[in-house]
């Protein structure tokens, strides 16, 4: 009950045309949309490292109680993470400058997984957005748009997920993405953020990252490597996606969860 009330308060502050909030008398279903950060975490091929954690202490202390603590290191754009506008826009907002209202709200899931299974480099197009709206209603301002390609099922197999596993080489990648024309259409709809279950919002063969540039110029946060979108309906989920608040960051690890009404 406390979770539902807190969620309602946060999402009401985020604005937008939200669906009915979960009944505070019933616990909502919570779905984790985040890949675990560990030694298998996938990062961009040209990144110098991925993610590493080690124990600094582990075991019984002289006082007789158990104690453990560790340290970790990694890159901003690994695993499930946020792309801030500055990632592709000089002078764009860094992670800590993004309004927290962008990180919560009603979500829609646009599913192109059937087409992506046949065409690994396919793009979400304006027609996909129009088809979704004909079936499920208008994408309202303040919506978090999640794009399901089916690629999360390939995690953490780097070669299947990225299309190529050559170290240091990002010129032979293959996975679906969001086309720049569709990105412009989402900007026109005044969405809060957009996420995808692949390594980049631009598809694998992109070399100019036009979609990143469109979204960055409009100040739209991007969530990449999102997990478990198959568990969400086209409409009805409320999403909270909170990044690590890294000063001057171009990106950050992201913990993203979805709340659905109790069955």
Summarize pLDDT for 87-136 with one digit per residue, the tens: 999 999 999 999 999 999 999 999 999 999 999 999 999 999 999 999 99
Checking if the pLDDT of 20 tops 80, the result is no
Checking if the pLDDT of 243 tops 60, the result is yes
pLDDT band at 50 (very low <50, low <70, confident <90, very high): confident
Residue 18: per-residue pLDDT? 43
Q: Is 107 helix (H, G, I), strand (E, B) or coil?
A: strand
Q: What average pLDDT does the segment 136-159 reach?
A: 98
**CA 256/CA 242 separation, integer angstroms:** 6
**CA 110/CA 148 separation, integer angstroms:** 6
Residue 163: per-residue pLDDT? 98
Residue 23: per-residue pLDDT? 65
DSSP state of 86: G
State the average pLDDT for the chain.
93
DSSP state of 63: T
**CA 211/CA 203 separation, integer angstroms:** 9
Closest CA to 111 of 196, 26, 20, 216: 196
CATH for 2-260?
A: 3.50.30.50
Boundaries of every domain in the chain: 2-260
Checking if the pLDDT of 65 tops 60, the result is yes
Residue 118: per-residue pLDDT? 98
Q: What average pLDDT does the segment 211-224 reach?
A: 98
Residue 1: per-residue pLDDT? 47
Checking if the pLDDT of 209 tops 80, the result is yes
Checking if the pLDDT of 14 tops 80, the result is no
More confident residue, 111 or 50: 111
pLDDT band at 27 (very low <50, low <70, confident <90, very high): confident
| Both tokens assigned to 262 | 């109790």
**CA 2/CA 237 separation, integer angstroms:** 18
Checking if the pLDDT of 17 tops 50, the result is no
């Amino acid at each position: 009950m406390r979770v539902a009330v807190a969620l309602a308060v946060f999402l009401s502050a985020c604005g937008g045309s939200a669906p009915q909030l979960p009944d505070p008398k019933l616990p909502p279903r919570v779905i984790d949309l985040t890949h675990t950060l560990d030694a298998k975490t996938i990062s961009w091929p040209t990144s110098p490292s991925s993610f590493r954690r080690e124990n600094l202490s582990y075991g019984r202390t002289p006082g007789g109680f158990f104690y453990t603590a560790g340290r970790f290191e990694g890159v901003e754009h690994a695993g499930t993470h946020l792309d801030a506008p500055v990632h592709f826009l000089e002078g764009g907002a860094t992670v800590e400058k993004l309004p927290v209202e962008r990180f919560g709200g009603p979500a829609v899931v646009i599913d192109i997984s059937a087409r992506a299974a046949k065409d690994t480099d396919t793009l979400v197009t304006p027609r996909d957005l129009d088809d979704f709206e004909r079936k499920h209603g208008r994408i309202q301002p303040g919506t978090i748009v999640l794009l399901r390609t089916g690629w999360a099922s390939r995690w953490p197999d780097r070669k299947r997920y990225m299309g190529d596993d050559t170290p240091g080489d990002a010129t032979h990648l293959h996975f679906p993405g969001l086309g720049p024309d569709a990105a412009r259409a989402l900007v026109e709809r005044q969405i809060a953020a957009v996420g995808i279950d692949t390594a980049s919002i631009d598809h694998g063969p992109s070399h100019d990252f036009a979609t990143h540039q469109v979204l960055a110029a409009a100040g739209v946060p991007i969530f990449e490597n999102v997990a478990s979108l198959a568990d969400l309906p086209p409409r009805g989920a409320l999403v909270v996606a909170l990044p690590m608040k890294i000063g001057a960051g171009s990106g950050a690890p992201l913990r993203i969860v979805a709340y659905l009404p109790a069955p």
